[in-house]
Amino acid sequence: MSNVCQMCGKRKVSGGNITRKGLAIKAGGIGMHVVKNNKRTFHPNIQEIRVKTDQGNKRMKVCTACIRTGNFEKA
């Protein structure tokens, strides 16, 4: 099963992890310089919960942001 929120459609996104080296200008250096830029993925915090629906109780994969909104009734 995929790691996607069934309420809002939140899914993993790709980004970068930037590594910097050097002494900051405020601290008397020549500034922070980028050394590396590694690709990485950011995953949503998906929880499996039971939700009351019109057809009865149903298991859904929902992100924690949607759980906090409370737009549904837990079973």
Distance of CA 55 to the CA centre of its chain: 30
> DSSP secondary structure string, 11-67?
--EEEEEEEEES--GGGTSS--EEEEEEEEEE---EEEEEEEETTEEEEEEEEHHHH
pLDDT in tens, 23-66: 999 999 999 999 999 999 999 999 999 999 999 999 999 999 99
Query: How far is 18 from 16, CA to CA, in rounded Å?
Result: 6
Residue 32 has a pLDDT of 95
**pLDDT beyond 90 at 1:** no
**What pLDDT does 75 receive?**
85
